[in-house]
Amino acid sequence: MKLESLRNIGISAHIDSGKTTLSERILFYGGKIHKIEEVRGGGDGATMDHMELEKERGITITSAATTLFWKDHTINLIDTPGHVDFTVEVERSLRVLDGAVLVLCGVAGVQSQSITVDRQMKRYNVPCLAFVNKLDRSGANPLRVANALRDKLQHNTVIMQYPIGAEADYEGHIDLITREATYFDGLKGETVRTGPVPDHLKDEVEKYRAMMLDSISMYNDEMTELLLDEKDIPLDLIHETIKKAVHARQITPVYMGTAFKNKGVQSLLDAVIKYLPSPMDRQYWGNDNEKNEKVEIFPDAKKPLCAMAFKIADENFGQLTYTRVYQGTLKKGETYYNPRMGKSQRVGRLVRMHSNDREDVDIAYAGDIIAMVGVECASGDTYCSEGINVTMEKMFVPEPVIELAIKPAKQEDLVKLSKALNRFMKEDPTFRVSVDKESNETRIAGMGELHLEIYVERMKREYKANVIVGQPKVNYREAPTLSAKFDYKHKKQTGGSGQYGHVVGELSVNTTPKSDDDSHEFVNGTVGGSIPKEYIPGVEKGYRESLARGPLGGFKVINTKFELKDGTFHAVDSSEMAFKVAARMAFKQAFLESKPVILEPIMRVEAETPMEFQGPVQGDLSSRRGMLLGSDVRDAYAVIIAEVPLSEMFGYSTDLRSKTQGKATFSMEFAAYRPVPSSIQEQLVKKFREEQAKGGSKDDD
């Protein structure tokens, strides 16, 4: 297989935009399946939704991979979930893909999760095409959606097709490059027929073609000159210019169709192989752990292996590890080095995935996406050939925002629950398990109610573990609002050598956090050896350990800067441990003086409701301390956008259904942490103090 003819692509979108339906058609036209199944509506369910829960709920929960062939090209395809609670599935897929298709609903256009997916594509610099789906629906308008993509997500959209007909009369499209009308005949749209542009559309087609050529000529001087001279532009030049601009993420070509009615999918596949990059066209980086420097990774089968495990699933026959080979070859039966674990592991079996089915292979080359069977590792691990020590750049993992207490219903369920928790934690980096030191209660944390609900359901089904679930608990945060100085001396004298550590400095608000998951900064500003350098790591450890449980309400602390300016030491009694304790107590002292606030997770909520229920839905969101950001009218539906504290959103889906006769839907995603009202802060602080009084101080845990 030539690398130039390989495409690793993902299908990403807001929930219910038709991603899985589109994937099903791609598999059908690519000859991978011989019968189309629908996401909802009986049958066996869509091929890529292989879990029972996915078939029942009609949503994608876990990303699924497959391989198909289209016009002498190999396409590795990953269908990702659209619900924000399963966002890590999109995150890890986009981390290893070379290109993506952003699917947008022809009626709803750009929705909340479209924004999140777009942010993820930008994070990994993934080039994409846009596909405006569901054009058979009432109110669908692909040109309006393309404009929304430009206005809301700042994509430089270029419309590549013009629709023939609209809504129920949608027949196909006109290719603006070739000026050919394309129709999809046959029972499943499998026969692609081309013809001349209908007379009544000729003027519009010429207008949009001129706009398209004008947009892409910005990236090619030769095209600009030909346009200015009013000369015909060779088709090869147009294709080459689009390809280069897409690879550089300078433009987003917009395609259209209706996957459900089998129209437009083959044209999208043609665009995928024409314009999305092969592994040869992307640049990838790793970190050489020996030299501690960035190194470029090349998709060359002859070089030493460099592969990344991006998703794991524990199954009856052992762990299934989805792996992207970036460089070299991965062979069955060979041994490879895992830098994180510091040891070599043997790969006993390699398989190529087709959703939940697998096909054994002996070797995988640079650019391939396959799975290793029975290799114990973690998501994000790198595998190298013996003799090199390289780690691929990590993926971003968002912090959980919601917690639930969970316990076995009976003693015999304890082992089953423990097995389930260990497996899920290993598979999903956003699913966390902890034990509350005070109450000895097991807590599970995740990205939302649905996320945890699915895992609880899987415990019952897959492990037959009957569990009792407590009330949801919000993951609050604490942060300082002012700078506060500290001067703390830790002095303890017992028999023999004592403990002595003295730290002086300032705690302030960190206004330039390195990343979402590291918002702290430690600065050593001591001079003249006032504190010997061997004790400085102890000071930093003490500070960083204090961040896990803030002194105000017992919540994780964010956005701090700890500047050590001075201090004193004792020639005999000082130690790293003494300075660690001094730093912890200094942090507590300064933090409580910094006018700290408790922050709560605020969710961006998008509710879609029939117009007659707009008032009650808006009123309900306001009553939940929601801040209405605006509303939009799409046909007979109102889309209300608001920011609401997560603590007020528990049980919202039931309330929304009852207020709208079951006709409204909503989605939400994490927006930001913001201060809670003072009355709520007082309650949280009071509760924390009462817990401390009952169980003794937690500062020395």
Q: Give the pLDDT confidence of 596-626 residue by residue, as tens digits.
A: 999 999 998 888 888 889 999 999 999 999 9
Rounded-to-integer distance, Cα 492 and Cα 645, Å: 45
Query: What is residue 60's predicted lDDT score, i.e. its pLDDT?
Result: 58
- Given this model, what pLDDT does residue 210 score? 93
Amino acid at site 270? D
Residue-by-residue DSSP string for 459-476? HHHHS---EEEEEEEE--
Q: What is the pLDDT of residue 569?
A: 92
**Which residues, 6 or more positions from 31, have their beta carbon under 8 angstroms from its beta carbon?**
68, 69
In angstroms, the CA 25 to CA 263 distance is: 10
Q: What is the 3-state secondary structure (H, E, C) of 474-535?
A: ECCEEECCCCEEEEEEEEECCCCCCEEEEEEEEEEECCCCCECCECEEEEECCCCCCCCHHH
- Cα separation, 293 vs 286, in Å, equals 8
Kindly report whether the global pTM for this prediction surpasses the value 0.75: no
Residues in Cβ contact with 495 at an 8 Å cutoff, skipping those fewer than 6 apart: none
Reported as half-sphere exposure (CB side, CA atoms, 13 A), residue 402 has a value of 23
Angle at 544 between CA 542 and CA 549, to 5 degrees: 100
What ranges make up the beta strands (E) of 38-178? 64-70, 73-79, 99-105, 128-133, 157-159, 161-164, 172-175
Nearest Cα to Cα of residue 62 among 646, 460, 458 = 458
pLDDT at 40: 47
**Cβ–Cβ < 8 Å for 33, 133:** no
pLDDT at 697: 44
Q: Bridge-partner residues for 402, per DSSP?
A: 446, 474
Q: Which residues are bridge partners to 177 per DSSP?
A: none
Distances (CA, A) of 681 to 37, 224, 598, 673, 674: 51, 61, 6, 14, 12
pLDDT for the residue numbered 129: 95
**Residue segments in the chain with a per-residue pLDDT below the cut of 70:** 1, 37-62, 82-85, 316-317, 437-439, 494-496, 514-517, 635, 695-701
Structure tokens at 226: 């030909």
Beta-carbon contacts of 420 under 8 Å, excluding residues fewer than 6 positions away, are 458, 459, 462, 463, 465
SS3 assignment, position 445:
strand
Dihedral (CA of 430, 435, 437, 441) sign: positive
pLDDT of the residue at 58: 60
Sign of the dihedral through C-alpha 223, 227, 229, 232: positive
pLDDT at 188: 86
Confidence (pLDDT) at 38? 64
